[in-house]
């Protein structure tokens, strides 16, 4: 139950005087919006309970990381819904395996963690990550990269030069290492990311291994937290759409990203994630404090609103209009719910 219905025409979300989550809505993405303290996280907790009851596994991303009891309350909600046997995984204290997939897939996810505004740097960073991961070459010495330590070892001019000696990529690597600043710069960026999670991506668990995966971000720097979330979201997209996964369906798992606007420039990735997981039946809910806070610009906010196909669960807000009745023809049916 989400609350008590006061008014509205969204009849499928009503059950007597209560607002509920119908099974048909369980796989739709929702945006939760409202002022700080307006009850978004409490609503998310209720969604977790209802979804767990419907047999969904939950991946909960706590972008704020300021509520020390949240993980426990979410575990309690899952246990209440499904019994004491639920498996809970708590990242980063319990690591995940960030190295699943082909070298190219892992390289793409690593590249997606970085905000590169300068085009020259962007292309050199991509090349550095790809050659270090051995994307171009089965020839790359040392085999597949399966840990952050191994990747760090490869951001090294002598190593890469040796590994690609006599291969078709030899001149590419020569170009890459010519500017002596580049490789150490890339290495430093990823070192910071891996240091922040302290081995958090070097585990064996995957998104499929728990009923509740709680991802908290107790990091000192917002840049580190953003990079970590970018990698987690990319890993989740890969998990949902991985053709090698048995029974490739996303409708058994829901990701909830709480307080996405606490981090910077995530909206495009969240839109992309929502659209991709929707293709395999999955969904992602995202919470933010206002329409303005839901994206970097108007276009992004509207696209996010569109990608959240279930609609917006709007809490107390100073500017509710853009979520519904504004300039473009969105479905504005709804119910007004009172907390209960
Ligand atoms: N449905 C509800 N019923 C009773 N209290 C609520 C409800 N929703 C929120 N609250 C209270 O409001 C406080 C803030 O809610 P929270 O979900 O943390 O807000 P937000 O995530 O929007 O910042 C909570 O500590 C809780 O005590
Ligand atoms: Mg909250």
* Claim to verify: residue 45 and residue 79 sit in the same structural domain: yes
Is residue 102 within 8 Å of 224, Cβ to Cβ?
Answer: no
Q: Does residue 158 carry a pLDDT above 70?
A: yes
Using one digit for the tens of pLDDT, what is the confidence trace for 248-280?
565 688 999 999 988 878 999 999 999 988 888
In a domain? residue 202: no
Show the domain range for 184: 103-197
Q: Quick one: pLDDT at residue 37?
A: 93
Place of tokens 């719910």: 337
**Pocket-testing residue among 35, 42, 260, ligand 1, by greatest number of atoms within 8 A of Cβ:** 42
Mean of pLDDT values over 69-92: 96
* Claim to verify: residue 218 and residue 80 sit in the same structural domain: yes
> Residue 183 corresponds to which tokens in the numbers above?
């490789």
Ligand 1 nearest-atom number relative to CA 315:
22
Q: Does residue 165 carry a pLDDT above 60?
A: yes
* Claim to verify: residue 90 and residue 107 sit in the same structural domain: no
Please spell the DSSP secondary structure of 168-228, one letter per residue.
TTHHHHHHHHHSTTHHHHHHHHHHHHHHHHTTTTBSSB-GGG-SEEEEE---S-HHHHHHH
Q: Quick one: pLDDT at residue 92?
A: 93
In a domain? residue 233: no
* Claim to verify: residue 311 and residue 216 sit in the same structural domain: yes
Residue nearest to ligand 1 atom 8, measured at CA: 39
* Claim to verify: residue 90 and residue 115 sit in the same structural domain: no
How far apart are the C-alpha atoms of 328 and 315, rounded to whole Å? 21
Q: Does residue 309 carry a pLDDT above 90?
A: no
In a domain? residue 36: yes
Q: Give the rounded percent of residues in the chain with a pLDDT score beyond 70.
A: 92
Q: Does residue 40 carry a pLDDT above 90?
A: yes
Residues with CB under 6 A from ligand 1: 34, 36-42, 315, 339
* Claim to verify: residue 171 and residue 256 sit in the same structural domain: no
* Claim to verify: residue 275 and residue 321 sit in the same structural domain: yes
Q: Give first-to-last CA distance, the chain, whole Å.
A: 9
Q: Does residue 55 carry a pLDDT above 60?
A: yes
In a domain? residue 291: yes
In a domain? residue 241: no
Q: How far is CA 244 from the centre of its chain?
A: 20
* Claim to verify: residue 108 and residue 89 sit in the same structural domain: no
Q: Quick one: pLDDT at residue 270?
A: 95
Instruction: Indicate if the alpha-carbon torsion angle 107, 113, 119, 124 is positive or negative.
Output: negative
Q: Does residue 161 carry a pLDDT above 80?
A: yes
* Claim to verify: residue 298 and residue 215 sit in the same structural domain: yes
Q: Does residue 326 carry a pLDDT above 70?
A: no
Confidence of residue 140 (pLDDT cuts 50, 70, 90): low
Which of 197, 217, 238 is the last residue in one of the domains? 197
* Claim to verify: residue 173 and residue 314 sit in the same structural domain: no
Q: Which residue has the higher pLDDT, 340 or 224?
A: 224
How far apart are the C-alpha atoms of 79 and 82, rounded to whole Å? 5
In a domain? residue 116: yes
* Claim to verify: residue 131 and residue 60 sit in the same structural domain: no
Mean of pLDDT values over 193-208: 93
Residue nearest to ligand 1 atom 1, measured at CA: 339
* Claim to verify: residue 57 and residue 125 sit in the same structural domain: no
Ligand 1 nearest-atom number relative to CA 339:
1
Please spell the DSSP secondary structure of 232-245, one letter per residue.
HHHHHHHHHH-TTS
How far apart are the C-alpha atoms of 256 and 273, rounded to whole Å? 12
In a domain? residue 243: no
Confidence of residue 137 (pLDDT cuts 50, 70, 90): low
Confidence of residue 312 (pLDDT cuts 50, 70, 90): confident
Please spell the DSSP secondary structure of 58-125, one letter per residue.
EEEEESS---TTHHHHHHHHHHHHH-TT--EEEETTS-BBTT-S-HHHHHHHHHHT----SHHHHHHH
Q: Give the rounded percent of residues in the chain with a pLDDT score beyond 90.
A: 61
How far apart are the C-alpha atoms of 13 and 320, rounded to whole Å? 20
Mean of pLDDT values over 116-122: 80
In a domain? residue 244: no
Question: How are beta strands 283-288 and 253-258 bridged, if at all?
Answer: parallel
Domain count across the chain: 2
Q: Quick one: pLDDT at residue 246?
A: 61
Q: Please tell me the distance between residue 297's alpha carbon and the centre of ligand 1 in angstroms.
A: 28
Query: Nearest ligand to the C-alpha of residue 259?
Result: 2
Q: Does residue 94 carry a pLDDT above 90?
A: yes
């Amino acid at each position: 139950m989400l609350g008590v219905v006061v008014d509205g025409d969204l009849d499928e979300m009503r059950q007597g005087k209560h607002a509920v989550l119908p099974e048909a809505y369980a796989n739709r993405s929702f945006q939760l919006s409202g002022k700080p303290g307006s009850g978004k996280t409490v609503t998310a907790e209720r969604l977790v309970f209802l979804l767990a009851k419907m047999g969904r596994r939950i991946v909960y991303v706590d972008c704020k990381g300021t509520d020390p009891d949240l993980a426990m309350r979410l575990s309690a909600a899952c246990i209440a819904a499904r019994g004491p046997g639920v498996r809970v995984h708590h990242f980063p204290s319990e690591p995940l395996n960030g190295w699943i997939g082909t070298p190219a897939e892992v390289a793409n996810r690593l590249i997606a963690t970085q905000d590169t505004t300068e085009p020259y740097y962007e292309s050199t960073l991509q090349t550095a990550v790809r050659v270090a991961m051995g994307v171009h070459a089965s020839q790359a010495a040392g085999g597949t990269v399966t840990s952050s330590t191994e990747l760090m070892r490869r951001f090294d001019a002598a190593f890469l030069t040796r590994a690609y000696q006599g291969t078709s990529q030899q001149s590419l690597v020569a170009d890459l290492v010519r500017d002596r600043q580049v490789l150490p710069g890339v290495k430093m960026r990823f070192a910071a990311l891996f240091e922040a999670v302290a081995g958090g991506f070097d585990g064996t668990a995957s998104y499929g291994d728990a009923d509740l995966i709680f991802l908290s971000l107790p990091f000192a720097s917002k840049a580190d937290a953003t990079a970590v979330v970018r990698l987690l979201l990319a890993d989740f997209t890969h998990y949902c759409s991985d053709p090698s996964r048995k029974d490739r369906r996303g409708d058994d798992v829901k990701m909830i990203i709480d307080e996405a606007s606490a981090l910077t420039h995530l909206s495009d990735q969240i839109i992309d994630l929502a659209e991709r997981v929707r293709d395999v039946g999955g969904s992602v809910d995202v919470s933010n404090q206002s329409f303005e806070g839901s994206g970097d610009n108007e276009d992004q906010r509207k696209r996010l609103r569109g990608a959240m196909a279930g609609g917006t669960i709007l809490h107390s807000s100073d500017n509710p209009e853009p979520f519904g009745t504004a300039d473009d023809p969105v479905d504005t049916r709804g119910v007004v719910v009172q907390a209960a």
